[in-house]
Amino acid sequence: MNKKSNNKHYLLIALFLCLTGIAPLASAADHQMVIQVNSKDKLTHKMGLINAGNLKSQLGNSNIDVEVVVYGPGLSMVKKGSVFTNRIEKLQSRGVQFSVCEGTLKAISKKTGKEPELLNGMKRVRTGALRILELQEKGYAYIRP
């Protein structure tokens, strides 16, 4: 086969993969944002949650994927009994994902002898920093209030 013929074959294969859904799908949302919360400061918690809500309001719930990654001292924001429980539940109902660092949970368990109780709907990830890296590699923008 000549070079032109090879290029046509590669183009046809790529087109087939895209049309059959075998190629990896990008997010349906036009925008993606990851918000880092690793501070025990309640004002930081509040600002992170306000940022998430404002992004959903300004761009539309289905036009932006927002993930709040919580680790270290930031864990207090998503523990049972948090003053932010209602706000977090409302954001979850709008599609905001909350991810919690397993490393932080293990460290607390080791120190206190029990794992902290989390609000419902928390996604566990290996480490908070790694999750942020993975999301940024997928094209997510990053903010830290």
Domain count, the chain: 1
In a domain, 13, yes or no: no
Is the pLDDT at 15 greater than 90, yes or no?
no
In a domain, 17, yes or no: no
In a domain, 89, yes or no: yes
In a domain, 46, yes or no: yes
Domain limits for position 96 = 27-143
CB burial string 4-32: b at 16+ within 10 A, e below? eeeeeeeeeeeeeeeeeeeeeeeeebebb
Beta strand 141-143 pairing with 97-101: unpaired
In a domain, 38, yes or no: yes
In a domain, 12, yes or no: no
Domain of residue 106, CATH code: 3.40.1260.10
In a domain, 3, yes or no: no
**54 with 91: CB under 8 angstroms?**
no
pTM: 0.81
Q: What is the mean pLDDT of the chain?
A: 89
Q: What number is the average pLDDT over the span 62-87?
A: 98
Q: What number is the average pLDDT over the span 30-51?
A: 98
Q: What is the pLDDT of residue 29?
A: 86
The 10s digit of each residue's pLDDT in 107-117 is: 999 999 999 99
In a domain, 127, yes or no: yes
The 10s digit of each residue's pLDDT in 95-109 is: 999 999 999 999 999
Q: What is the pLDDT of residue 25?
A: 45
